[in-house]
């Protein structure tokens, strides 16, 4: 057996890859609960791929048959209801895990040198994940799926000169139709998953090249023993691979409770209008995107003034796009000499708290119907969101930081 393994390894270095990324990949020994979410994101990704494949076997990507095929999956396919709920709940779980993973990065400065590329790959994963979720949202061909897609695609029409042609190109038709459904289906099940998997691989390779960050923001490679092994590092396997099983168990417990008892989450995961087939002649009373898009949707709606001869709708799209784009330049905005929020000054802590509060409340405002008061609040919170980034080069440079220990703490 050993000779067979050696023969294979001489031609395909599986053992070397195992050692580099698991057995001899030394991770900081002070990982805390926030470091579960990277592994959980991979777990949810596998869930989405497996359940998506099985759902595709019974799904009919046509305007005439899409809604009926979903009903067929729910009622007649053996365990079809479970597969559908695992997939729909998994979509929301994916964003919950990813948002918490991103928050961990913001807290501990995981975007700072030398991990800028890891952050960029992570943000690209986030973008592709949003596109993947948007494409998949149309596939049930329910009322909210149809009209939500109609609203989002029409936003591109606000772009001067190219807007109408761009909207037409995305739809493949002059309105959301079976052609759009086929196009979104192909992107959702083939193109975007391939891109997503590629980015995940690059994200992990980039991480393992420079090493993992930790709650102290200390580079463990600076303190090595006589064998060149980091004194504050432990092999990822078996220590963290087994340790992560605890997080997986807790996550699966909560996930299964939602799947079996609250799969619709009161209309947050699966909206009530989506249990009606798409009707181009009947507009739902209130149209809103699914919850993980609503912070940016609230920013879009917060813009109500025409500027420079261009409509408010266009500037709303600009604000929404800028809210995502500004995350890409975060590594170059933070001028703090320390990484972790543990050792940053009070200004950074207040700024991060206001940023998180603003994002969460914007998420709520994007779900509920707009009123004058809610629009004003959304405008204030959108301003706070952008000020977190715009002022970062100043408050991170001027604040007094705490001394960082030479070795990692608990």
| Cα–Cα distance measured from residue 86 to residue 305, given in angstroms and rounded to the nearest whole number | 42
Specify the pTM: 0.94
Cα distance between the two ends of the chain: 42
Same-domain check for residues 67 and 184: yes
Per-residue model confidence (pLDDT) at position 15: 75
Same-domain check for residues 330 and 214: no
Same-domain check for residues 298 and 349: yes
- Total domains in the fold of the chain: 2
- Closest to 28 (Cα-Cα) out of 173, 223, 189: 223
Is 405 within the bounds of a domain?
no
* pLDDT tens across the length of the chain (410 residues): 788 878 887 788 887 787 777 778 889 999 999 999 999 999 999 999 999 999 999 999 999 999 999 999 999 999 999 999 999 999 999 999 999 999 999 999 999 999 999 999 999 999 999 999 999 999 999 999 999 899 889 888 888 888 889 999 999 998 899 999 999 999 999 999 999 999 999 999 999 999 999 999 988 888 888 888 888 899 988 888 898 999 999 999 999 999 999 999 988 898 888 999 999 888 888 888 899 999 999 999 999 998 888 889 999 999 999 999 999 999 999 999 999 999 999 999 999 999 999 999 999 999 999 999 999 999 999 999 999 999 999 999 999 999 988 888 76
Instruction: Identify the domain containing residue 72 by its residue range.
Output: 1-25+32-271
Q: Measuring CA to CA, how many Å separate 280 from each of 67, 284, 321?
A: 14, 10, 28
Is 110 within the bounds of a domain?
yes
Same-domain check for residues 260 and 292: no
| Cα–Cα distance measured from residue 143 to residue 62, given in angstroms and rounded to the nearest whole number | 15
Same-domain check for residues 295 and 240: no
Per-residue model confidence (pLDDT) at position 407: 85
Is 409 within the bounds of a domain?
no
Same-domain check for residues 227 and 299: no
Same-domain check for residues 266 and 374: no
Per-residue model confidence (pLDDT) at position 151: 86
**Other Cβ atoms within 10 Å of 154 Cβ, number:** 17
- 3-state secondary structure (DSSP) of residue 277: strand
| Cα–Cα distance measured from residue 259 to residue 338, given in angstroms and rounded to the nearest whole number | 41
Same-domain check for residues 315 and 246: no
**48-86 CB burial, b ≥16 within 10 A, e <16:** beebbebbeeebbbebeebbebbeebeeebeebebbbbb
Per-residue model confidence (pLDDT) at position 9: 79
Would you give the distance in Å from CA 9 to the centre of its chain? 36
Is 183 within the bounds of a domain?
yes
Boundary residue ending a domain (206, 236, 271): 271
CATH of the domain at 122: 1.20.810.10
Is 281 within the bounds of a domain?
no
Residue 21 annotated in ligand binding: no
Residue 188 annotated in ligand binding: yes
Is 321 within the bounds of a domain?
yes
Q: Measuring CA to CA, how many Å separate 291 from each of 127, 270, 299, 400?
A: 16, 10, 14, 38
φ/ψ bin of 309: left (φ > 0), alpha (ψ from -120 to 50), beta (otherwise): left
Boundary residue ending a domain (236, 271, 306): 271
Residue 203 annotated in ligand binding: yes
Would you give the distance in Å from CA 45 to the centre of its chain? 11
Is 9 within the bounds of a domain?
yes
Same-domain check for residues 166 and 20: yes
């Amino acid at each position: 057996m050993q000779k067979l393994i050696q023969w294979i390894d001489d031609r395909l270095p599986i053992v070397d890859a195992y050692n580099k990324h698991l057995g001899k990949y030394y991770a900081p020994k002070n990982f805390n609960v926030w470091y579960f979410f990277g592994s959980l994101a991979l777990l949810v990704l596998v869930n989405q791929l497996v359940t998506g494949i099985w759902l595709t076997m019974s799904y009919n990507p046509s305007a005439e048959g899409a809604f009926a095929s979903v009903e067929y999956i729910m009622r007649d396919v053996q365990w079809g209801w479970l597969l559908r709920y695992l997939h729909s709940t998994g979509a929301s779980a994916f964003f919950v895990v990813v948002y918490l993973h991103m928050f961990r990065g913001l807290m501990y400065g995981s975007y700072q040198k030398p991990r800028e590329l890891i952050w960029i790959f992570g943000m690209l994963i986030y973008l592709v994940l949003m596109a993947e979720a948007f494409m998949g949202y149309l596939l049930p061909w329910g009322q909210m799926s149809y009209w939500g897609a109609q609203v989002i695609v029409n936003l591109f029409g606000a772009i001067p000169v190219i807007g109408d042609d761009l909207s037409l190109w995305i739809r493949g038709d002059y309105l959301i139709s079976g052609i759009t459904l086929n196009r979104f289906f192909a992107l959702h099940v083939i193109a975007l998953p391939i891109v997503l998997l590629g980015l995940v691989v690059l994200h992990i390779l980039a991480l393992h090249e420079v090493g993992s960050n930790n709650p102290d923001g200390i580079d463990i490679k600076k303190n090595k023993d006589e064998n060149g092994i980091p004194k504050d590092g432990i092999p990822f396997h078996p220590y963290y691979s087994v340790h992560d099983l605890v997080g997986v168990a807790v996550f699966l417990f909560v996930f299964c409770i939602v799947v079996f008892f609250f799969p619709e989450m009161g209309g947050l995961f699966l909206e009530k209008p989506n249990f009606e087939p798409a009707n181009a002649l009947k507009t739902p009373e209130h149209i809103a995107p699914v919850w993980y898009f609503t912070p940016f949707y609230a920013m879009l709606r917060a813009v109500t003034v025409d500027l420079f001869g261009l409509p408010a709708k266009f500037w709303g799209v600009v604000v929404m796009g800028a809210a995502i784009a500004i995350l890409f330049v975060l590594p170059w905005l933070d001028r703090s000499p320390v990484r972790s929020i543990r050792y940053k000054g009070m200004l950074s802590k207040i700024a991060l708290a206001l940023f998180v509060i603003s994002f969460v409340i914007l998420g709520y405002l994007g779900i509920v119907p707009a009123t004058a008061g809610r629009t004003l609040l959304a405008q204030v919170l959108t301003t706070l969101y952008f000020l977190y980034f715009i002022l970062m080069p100043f408050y991170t440079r001027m604040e007094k930081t705490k001394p960082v220990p030479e070795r990692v703490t608990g």
